[in-house]
Amino acid sequence: MNNNTMYANASHVNHGFQHEERRPPPYAPSSGLYPALPQYHGHQNVASQYQIASPSYPSERYPTAQTQNLHHYTPQTASVNTHHTTTPASHYSSPPVHKGSKKKTCTCITIAIITLLIIAGVIAALLWYFGVFSCNGRQCKADNICVSHSQWCDGVQDCPSGEDEAQCFRLYGSNFLLQKYSNESRNWELVCSDGWNDELAKQACEQIGYPRNTYAGYSVISSRASSNSVMVMADSLSSNPNITTQSFLTKGTTCASNTLVTLKCIDCGKNIGSRIVGGTTVTSKGVWPWQVSLQISRNHVCGGSIITPYWILTAAHCVEKYSNPRQWTVFAGYLTQSEMKYATGNSVSQIVKNNFDSTTNENDVALMKLNSPLRMTSNVRPVCLPNVGMYFSAPRNCYITGWGALSFQGSGSETLQEAKIQLIDRTTCNNYQVYNGLITNTMICAGKLAGGVDSCQGDSGGPLVTQENSLWWLVGDTSWGEGCAFRNKPGVYGNVTYFLDWIYQQMQKY
């Protein structure tokens, strides 16, 4: 948490070791008072904030060898002047056109137009042939091939890329209800537990993106669903042990047990230990067991969250300039930076970055795959990815953690810090006094509009979590913000729920 001098429109960005990162100069506020807070229900807390590259756009919280502040502070003001200049275009006269060349020019233009029309016609014919314009089913986006609805999620790969058989299962709600896509109803359906077993459950987990060795079991829950809204076992296939899970299930007409499948593909979201009430320093290793330190040359650069023994979720801006997996080492299960100096971390084999836009900070999420899996202990455990149908709305309480800077542009923390903050409604965060329309669906605001509590440089990529049904869920990854803990400038986080499909696709692919 952050004790800091107030710099309006100053945002921090955590580039790895980028001590020379550009920051806008301070500007003078219009008065000695902060602007009135926008109307909002509930208490707001400010979370991670990163430095903006210009007063118009926020800059991401790029990794530095510092971490973000999870401390209280009393903001002050400083002044800044920024202005833009443009260079007017020079005027010139175009050369004269000879009259004798007009006929020849017209002929060339006509030929060019005819040629372009022919090319366009050929392209249109090819697209029509491959079903782009005439697809009456579903399009294989990666292959430009049309596949009928009945072939989608039927257990047979029809798209060369396998797209039609990927993402046929998903988990719903905080109870982990299993759903399968029905090519008959063209909708997601719950799964009747009649005839269900562990082998089918493991296959479903693999279809989602989890390896078999993380499988944590399935259970059943009483169903109030109507008989025509579930998937049931196909009796004619029940004796075939080699059948795929997709084709094993069919649109149901009855569910005799009236119970549904709930599926745990990984034992996630559990912690041990307790926090000090009102405190900011984490004193037990088991409190936030999914928090990791991402380092280059034994220097902390960013935070991250364990989502499986092989996969770490972090911010895309952390790896934008440092995209070579060999540069990174992941340290899990530690509280202090000094502990990690002499520890052996885990090397990284793969870095997958979403379609990140460094100008707008859109899609600020990335995944790191480890060369060897983390050994799960009470101090090293995965956080739960939010399931479809889980909605986290303001002013829900959340926690942020990290080794970030303890003041704006200050030095990082030696010991892991935590802060309790609240989600802030997107409409409020897009108010002209706050972020003036910069918050998109790929982002979540969290913190305190009054200022004083926030993440800071070095906390980038770290977790924003909340608790539900006794489990901890990953709501966001620390992304950007203006300054640290400034008034009306809460932290902005990558919206993990928005990225769910992308996350599972990468886990399947790699």
Angle (CA) 310-311-316 rounded to 5° is 150
Which tokens sit at 192? 């009747």
Q: What are phi and psi of 26, to 5 degrees?
A: -70, 160
Contact 318, 402 (CB under 8 A): no
**Residue 364: active-site member:** yes
How far apart, in whole angstroms, are the C-alpha atoms of residue 290 and residue 287? Answer: 9
How far apart, in whole angstroms, are the C-alpha atoms of residue 224 and residue 289? Answer: 37
Helices (H) and strands (E) in the chain, counts: 7, 21
The residue annotated as part of the active site, out of 182, 293, 407, 460, is 460
How far apart, in whole angstroms, are the C-alpha atoms of residue 187 and residue 263? Answer: 19
**Residue 150: active-site member:** no
Contact 423, 375 (CB under 8 A): no
The residue annotated as part of the active site, out of 317, 413, 425, 454, is 317
Q: Which one, of 146, 208, 152, lies nearest residue 176 by Cα?
A: 208
The residue annotated as part of the active site, out of 158, 194, 364, 454, is 364
Beta strands 169-172; 471-480: pairing state: unpaired
Burial 204-218 (b: 16+ CB within 10 A, else e): bbbbbbbbeebbeeb
329 forms beta bridges with: 295, 347
Q: What are phi and psi of 203, to 5 degrees?
A: -65, -40
Report the catalytic residues.
317, 364, 460
